[in-house]
Amino acid sequence: MNSDATACGPTGWLPPYAPAEPAGREAVLNSILHALPIGVCWQRGADGENCWCNESFSRLTNRDWTGMTAIDSLAETLHPEDQPAYGAALTQLRVGATEQCDLELRCQVGDEIWWRRFLLQANRSPEGRITDLLLTVTDISERKQHQEEMRAALAGAEALNEQIELAIGRAQEAAVDANLASLSKSQFLATMSHEIRTPMNGIIGMTDLLLETPLNREQRDFADTIRVSGEALLTIINDILDFSKIESGKLELEEADFFLRDCVEGALDLMAARAREKQLDVLYEIADGTPAMVRGDVTRLRQILLNLVGNALKFTPKGEVVVRIEPEVGGIVAPGLMGFHVSVRDTGIGITPEGQSRLFQSFSQVDASTTRKYGGTGLGLAISKKLAELMGGRMWVESEVGQGSIFHFTVTLATRPGSARPNVAVARALLSGRRVLLVEDNDTSRRNLAELISRWGMEPLAVGSEEEALAALKTGRNFDIAILDAQLPGTDGVQLARQVNQHRSGPPLPLLLLAAPGQRVPEGVTATCVAKPLKAVALFEALAAAFGRPSEATVPIMPVAKASATVQTTKLLLAEDNLVNQKVAVNLLKNIGYQTEVVANGLEVLAAVERQTYDIIFLDMQMPEMDGLEAARRLVELYPRPEQRPWMIALTANAMQGDRELCLDAGMDDYITKPIKKVELATAIERGRAVIAGRTVMS
């Protein structure tokens, strides 16, 4: 910069150590300006009497401007389509129409396009004559690329939404068609369910995958909005279909034997991710004297629990949600029949008396205003109440504003002989007398866990903090194992795990970490993770494994260190005709560590099985040429013995009454409804792998 360039502004802002003489000040100013990552170009006068550019300006525009009037010549470096916009902005400045122009333009560099932001400013004399022009340039190529990717994702979501509207339109047209008279209402609802759920699987599945990629804050907000909206739409669809079946008298309850504990744990598993997002504890209690095995409709009982626990999580900003099951007072209804009382307690915002009067009305909500905070159709509780009544019970609520709520319902179920899992006698034989250090900050969870392991004959010392745990260890008291919550206030269970064995002189103490699903033990810590919400069977298996004892395991626990290697050797085949759903399933499987082959129908499944052996096959129920049900029947015919054929998991968008039975009757081993969730997919695969592993051991 020549000496005239000092006219760009006062020098009083220079650092206090800057030289006093003009040449020294100019050198300091030059070094500062050249070090800036932002390109700067200064031009004396409107016609470029003097022009100076820093190094970043030359780099960002890909040209050496020595001896050139950069501001006037910059258009030569721009994409031909953007040159007129720059010329028009420069003209506006010179005629006085504006004092500043902010432009996002493309620089043409060979075959490459660079996006740049140009900020052009004019300074004027009191008479209005331009004294100098200042042009700054910044690189916005990455932001533009992310915007384009988000635009493409939104366009894809809109296209899928159009498919939903088209499917609804087709269903409406079918409703007025004369042939509809020959179809039963259940068939029509199944068609509606399939037509709507298929594109919904694409919307929700692809959005979940998008959220697992690197996104900036704005893009993540957009994608999360799509996900939340898709799940809200799916909830509405499910509620309307259920409500329609109940109102038309088409809903029939199933009868099957099941363990109460498994039903509750299955419902809480589905709520675990939402609870983890809000940092809430979700717990359950089963009172002494409650039969372990019952007979009834496990799907509908789980649906009631999901509605009530989901509502509790929605309206609880902090604290806990606790499910309790106990025999109803005077519970023996008839020989072999018992009434059960179920409560779902939360520490949420509570409900006013006026709100309670509207709770169980169809399409009604506590807050009926159009600006209500929490949203929803108002059908969930109405459906739950009707389901409880269909199962011979009732539903009611107790609540106080600011003090939380307790939703109660009763059902009548047939009792069946069967002991709780794990069997208490077996558990005592394996674990009796073992001393346990239990560290859990939640009072309810700590009490329930202490009671559970006490019933197994163990001797727990239950504390609520890291400080209490370390104090107990320093006293020299001997323990056989420690059970640590992975999330403790002020620290975490991993940090405590590192400290536990520092206070022991003997062999290392075995450690169990109560952690979020999928959480892994970090390097340097020897411990076993047990997923929360805690399952009694999973805890028992982990305890038995820690002591190196055989157990009555129904589902073996896979050691964390070996899981990835086992996953890589599992051979999967996916049969799905919809291209979007193929992409969703393949990427979900990839994210949890599995590679899979893809075919488009049942005939291709049979051909693939002839060429290669597969461990697990996913079969879509509705495919052209040969559907999943027929493919399963053919595989059963080809391989009559279960251990000879792959584990078969049904994929269906119907999710209607009897669909599961159709799949099982055809010979399938498991069943997943669309939209496919990663946790449900991983759980189904683990169930299949566990059975396959058991067959291998037996053979």
The pTM of the full predicted model, rounded to 2 decimals, is 0.51
pLDDT band at 549 (very low <50, low <70, confident <90, very high): low
pLDDT higher than 80, residue 613: yes
- In angstroms, the CA 339 to CA 418 distance is 18
Q: What is the pLDDT of residue 189?
A: 58
Residue 104 pairs with which residues in a beta bridge? 117
The proportion of the chain whose per-residue pLDDT surpasses 70, expressed as a percent, equals 80
Once rounded to an integer, what is the mean pLDDT over residues 154-180?
A: 70
Which helix (DSSP H) or strand (DSSP E) does residue 459 occupy?
Answer: strand 459-463
Pull the structure tokens for residue 169: 């339109």
Tell me the mean pLDDT in the region 555-580.
Answer: 61
**Residues written for the chain:** 699
Q: What six digits make up the tokens of 34?
A: 């050249």
When pLDDT is cut at 50, 70 and 90, the band that residue 135 belongs to is very high
Radius of gyration in angstroms for the set of CA atoms belonging to the chain, rounded to a whole number: 33
> How far is the C-alpha of 349 from the C-alpha of 489, rounded, in Å?
23
Confidence of residue 574 (pLDDT cuts 50, 70, 90): very high
SS3 328: strand
Q: Give residue 120's pLDDT.
A: 92
CB-based contact 239:383 (threshold 8 Å): yes
The set of residues, in sequence order, having a beta carbon less than 8 Å from that of 510 and lying 6+ positions away, is: 480, 481, 482, 528, 546, 547
CA dihedral 521, 525, 527, 533 (to 10 degrees): -40
Q: How many CB atoms within 10 Å of residue 138?
A: 16
CA 14 to chain centre: 52
Determine contact, residues 581/204, Cβ cutoff 8 Å: no
pLDDT attached to residue 3: 39
Could you read off the pLDDT of 245-289 as tens digits, one per residue?
A: 676 666 778 888 888 988 898 888 778 878 888 888 899 999 888
How many whole angstroms separate alpha carbon 657 and alpha carbon 666?
16
Contact assessment for residue 650 and residue 668, using Cβ atoms and an 8 Å cutoff = yes
pLDDT average, residue stretch 417-423:
73
Nearest to 278 by CA among 311, 307, 320: 320
Q: First-to-last CA distance in the chain?
A: 85
Residue 684 has pLDDT above 60, yes or no: yes
**β pairing state of 112-124 and 256-259:** unpaired
Is residue 447's pLDDT more than 50? yes
Residue 637: CA count within 13 A, CB half-sphere: 8
pLDDT digits (tens, 9 = 90+) for 196-207: 767 776 777 778
Region 74-83: mean pLDDT is 90
